[in-house]
Amino acid sequence: MSRANNFSAGPAILPVEVLEETSKAVKDFGGLGMSIMEMSHRSKEYDAVFVETQNDALKLMGLSPVDYTVLFLGGGASLQFLMIPYNFLSGSADYANTGAWSKKAIKEAQWVGNCNVVATSEDTTFNYIPKNIRWNADADYAHFTTNNTIYGTRWLELPEVGDVPLIADMSSDIYSREIDFSKFSLIYAGAQKNMGPAGVTMVVIKNEFFETKATGKAPTMLNYKTHIDKGSMFNTPPTLPVYIVGRTFKWIMRQGGLAAIQEMNEQKAALLYDYIDANTDFYRGTVGDKNDRSIMNVTWNLPTAELEAKFVAEAKARYNMTNLKGHRSVGGCRASIYNACPRSSVEALVSFMEEFMKDNK
């Protein structure tokens, strides 16, 4: 089968090995004569899949299952925007506003209590990460979005928040690089960028944080205690997506873990950014500060909107390069080059960019 050069921001490209493993499990899992989708989530066979996936999630992060709990929940990262303040916001919380998703998180927190927006880059359409932020030492928690898919920015360095619990939405760059995950009290991520298909969200909670800071005021399904107490199986979990997440974790391990993944991702991003920077009279990157540039979502403009539309159309028609159109809110072009995006696709894109520039400059 010929694979597209898929630059979708999400649902995004998955490793071919994972797709092949999943296709087999969808027909017959483990020789049981039934699909992974047909099994009881409480069977010993599926429980083993679920628990192993939880353990591998922490193993890749270098975290202990004694200190952290992994939940696989529905509702997307968007539901976490509300669950987090419901469970932990009693006085006030600090939020950094660096894009569309952090804005949505702030909106939900404001339904619950006092939300301090301690920094924003909205003044220039979110094309940079704010610096020298003054986080409040008495905040219930500090929240930020590690990578911004729409605007092509990311936090190179983690925020310094002192003893305040740090919470991060890592939906679009989780497992893309080595970081000190132990600095976080809670991490959440929709799976559909770097971990698996749409339909499951992973939440990693530091047990001490939950035990000492949870308000206990959240309704049943929005209360983390409900899911922690039942091993993330209070209700039927999204069984197939969790299986695929587990296979993706194994794939990351086979690549050499996060150190190897980071090296591959940085090399792919450099290919694209270096070409854009060398041809600024035709391709203009939207993020000026190189330290703020995402290695997952590369965004740029051409001289006119008409040329951008032509670029996207010809890339698809000539080389089956899909999903290069920028987000509808900002336009331009965007290439999402998550973990599973092969280097060959990025090389093909750069080659086409050169070809297109020569034909249209």
* Active-site amino acid positions: 101, 169, 193
Alpha-carbon separation of residue 10 from 129, 323, 327, 337, 344 (angstroms): 22, 10, 11, 11, 20
Report the SS3 class of residue 166.
Answer: strand
Contact 264, 351 (CB under 8 A): no
β partners of residue 206? 68
Residues 128, 173, 175, 274, CA torsion sign: negative
Residues 305, 309, 315, 321, CA torsion sign: positive
CB atoms within 10 A of CB 138: 8
How many residues in total does the chain contain?
361
Q: Strand (E) positions, 173-256?
A: 186-190, 201-206
Q: Which contacts of 217-221 are long-range, i.e. CB under 8 A and separated by 24 or more positions?
A: 217/86, 218/83, 218/86, 218/87, 219/86
Alpha-carbon separation of residue 294 from 127, 178, 267, 338 (angstroms): 11, 15, 13, 11
Q: What helix, strand, coil percent values describe the chain, rounded to 5?
A: 40, 15, 40
Residue type (1 letter), 346 = V
Q: Strand (E) positions, the chain?
A: 5-6, 68-73, 92-97, 114-120, 142-145, 147-148, 153-154, 166-169, 186-190, 201-206, 284-285, 297-301, 321-322, 333-336
Task: Compute the C-alpha angle 89/132/327, nearest 5°.
Answer: 75
Report the SS3 class of residue 189.
Answer: strand
Residue type (1 letter), 217 = K
